[in-house]
Structure formats: C-alpha cells, structure tokens
Amino acid sequence: MRTLRVELGERSYPIRIGSGLLSRADLLAPHLEQRRVAIVTNETVAPLYLAQVRSVAAARQPLEVILPDGEQYKTLEVVARIFDALLQARCDRRTMILALGGGVIGDMAGFAAACYQRGVPFIQIPTTLLAQVDSSVGGKTGVNHPLGKNMIGAFYQPQAVIIDTDTLRTLPDRELKAGIAEVIKYGLIRDAEFFVWLEKNLPRLLARDSEALSYAIEHSCRNKAEVVAKDERESGLRAVLNFGHTFGHAIETATEYRSWLHGEAIAAGMAMAADLSRRLGWLAEDEASRIRSLIKMAQLPDRAPPGIDNEQLRTLMEMDKKVESGRLRLVLLKRIGEAVVTADYPSPVLDQTIAAHVRIQ
C-alpha cells in the first residue's frame, strides 16, 4: 500500500492507494469509532462494491443511501435525499459519511457531509480512475444547477481517501482512458519525470496492471495535493490544474455534455493548449509531438469532435469563467512539466490553433 498525505494544516488527511484496500478493516475502523456510519453510493457501484464496504463497517450497522447513477442526478434535490435519509435514521453530528463511487458521488456525498448539521466528517472511496486522481483530492464538493456546472458547493476536506485499484477492474475501457487524460495532465503541467514514465508505461495502465496503476495514481494525487496545499480555496496557483480545460469545457458545452466524457474533452483540450504553446514558440516542436503521441497512445482524441466550427468553439471559450477584463486567460506550457497561466498571447494565434483542431471550418 502507498500512503501520501495532503498537507492542509489541521485539515490534513492521508490518501491510501493499493490493491484490496476495500476489504482492509484496519484502514476504515479507526475513523468509525463511536460514530454512526452512512454509506452513500449509486445503483451501478452498489452491486459491485457495497457488500465489501458494508462488511468492513458491519459493527456500526451502516445506513445505506443508494442514488441514481449519472451526472444528471448531481443536483441539490438529490443531495436533499441524502439529508432525508440521515434525518430519518436520526443520525446526529457523530456520523461518518463514506462516499463510495465516482466523482459525482464524491461531490454530492462530500457536499452533504459539509452541510449536514453544519458539517460531519466523511471519507472518499473513489471507484473510477478520474475520481481517484482528480476529484478525491482538493476538497471541492457540490452539485450542478440548470444554469451551470458545480455552481453550488463547498470546499470541504475528507478525513481520508481510500483508493482500491481493484475497483478499476470493472471500469469500462472508455472511462479508464478518460481518467488517463487527467493523469497525463499532471505530467504536462509540473512533473516531466512522470511524463517520461507515462511514455514508457502507458500500455501497462491500459492493461490495468495494478502496480502501474498504483504508481500513476500516487504520482497524480501527489502532484494535485502539492498544488492544493499551496492554494486550498483556488485563489490563483490552482488554476494550472485547469490545463486543457478551457478548450475542453467549450467542447463539452458545444456537445451538451453528451457525446464525449470529460476526460476525452480534456485530452483534446490539452492537445490544443500544447499546439498553441508550440505556435507561440514556447514549447519545442519535439515536445509538442511527444504530447500528441502520448494522447494518441492512450486512444484519446487530439482534436474537437465533428460538428463544431471555429466560431462556436471560440465563442464558448470566451464565455468561460476565466475571462478577465476582456482577455481570455489560458494555461499554457513553457515545456513539458512547466505550465503558466496567461492572457498574454496574440489572439490570431489562438484562432490558428482552433482552426487546426476543428473538423469543419
């Protein structure tokens, strides 16, 4: 088992990574003493992993809250169902919430923990690669609103994160690859050595080699944890984590979040951000081409999906939150392993990048 610690003062917590951790009572038990336990999960994950978690927490007769599966259920109304269940079971402040599932479950159960009786502790048990390397670190919790994603929520840190790499065995191929997009991101923005490791070991990740997955998850979480430790509430530095995301979000919005998974849109977004960095003369040609190769090796898209044109993509990017006094700020690369947040690039070069990555002009 690998352990790393997210350093946030009195809100610090450990991340445990390894095979078979869901059955390790010794990891959960110390957190559950003298507490009611409520496991929040969804209809897809429950049949696969609820029994294991339930049996580890058996002595505490856990309450089980099983929600529908899907981003469309990440709403305040569904979080209210968690409150209903906790109150019906008369859970008091000495309750520990276990979030068992992907990013949607982690975001909603974490937000419910932040608000229930003004805050009860919770533990993240992420079961998708994306949740393991992204949403389980950083304390962002919340729900969507019809007028925007993640518009309602809280910064709220878990007591611990338990990542059992065995849960990735049941993850659909496409979701595994989408998670790998975020893994590649950490190499690009701040860890050149990890990027080189990925160039060599990507086939092992695609083959779900447990040891390789543990290594990749640990290095991803460590990179994210270091950034978050310096900027818990996203005042500035944390913006580098949005590498590829301004392009990616525009793609997601254009396709109404239907045709591509988040990680797929981010992969295309990273290819575009790298291309823009190259056109600006910041990123060397060979590094830009290594980035594109790695994205392709992961069987991820390196350009926008069919049906989006220049104009639409550019407009949607400019509606992004990161526009500041009229200039669109982007995360770009100086080299593999070094990102900068900047609005200091000629607008026509951005247009060239967009033109080179859409399929209709």
The set of catalytic residues is 118, 140, 182, 224, 234, 238, 242, 245, 249, 262
Q: Of the ranges 57-65, 83-91, 121-129, 295-303, which one interacts with a copy of itself (CB under 8 A)? A: 83-91
Query: Residue 120: which residues within 8 A CB-CB, separation 6 or more?
Result: 91, 93, 94, 95, 96, 97, 113
Tokens of 244: 């590829």
The CB density around residue 20, as the number of other CB atoms within 10 Å, is 12
192 backbone dihedrals φ, ψ, rounded to 5° = -60, -35
User: Do 354 and 310 meet the contact criterion of CB atoms below 8 Å apart?
Assistant: yes
Q: Of the ranges 18-26, 76-84, 164-172, 246-254, which one interacts with a copy of itself (CB under 8 A)? A: 76-84
Minimal distance, residue 80 CB to a copy of itself, in Å: 6
- Binding to a copy of itself (CB under 8 A) within 139-178 occurs at 140, 142, 145, 147-148, 150-155
Q: Smallest Cα–Cα separation from 244: which of 222, 266, 228?
A: 266
The CB density around residue 146, as the number of other CB atoms within 10 Å, is 6
- Binding to a copy of itself (CB under 8 A) within 199-238 occurs at 233-234
Q: Which one of residues 15, 114, 217, 291 is an interface residue with a copy of itself (CB under 8 A)?
A: 114
Q: Which is nearer to a copy of itself, 222 or 224 (CB)?
A: 224
Tell me the per-residue interface mask from 310 to 329 with a copy of itself, x by CB under 8 A, - otherwise.
-----------x--------
Q: Which is nearer to a copy of itself, 319 or 355 (CB)?
A: 319
Q: How many angstroms from the chain centroid is the CA of residue 290?
A: 24
Q: Smallest Cα–Cα separation from 39: which of 17, 54, 21?
A: 54
Query: Residue 49: which residues within 8 A CB-CB, separation 6 or more?
Result: 22, 41, 100, 127, 167
Q: Please work out the total of residues on this chain that contact a copy of itself, with binding judged by CB under 8 A.
A: 28
Q: Of the ranges 18-26, 78-86, 264-272, 330-338, which one interacts with a copy of itself (CB under 8 A)? A: 78-86
Q: Which residues bind a copy of itself (CB under 8 A)?
A: 76, 80, 83-84, 87-88, 92-93, 114-119, 140, 142, 145, 147-148, 150-155, 233-234, 321
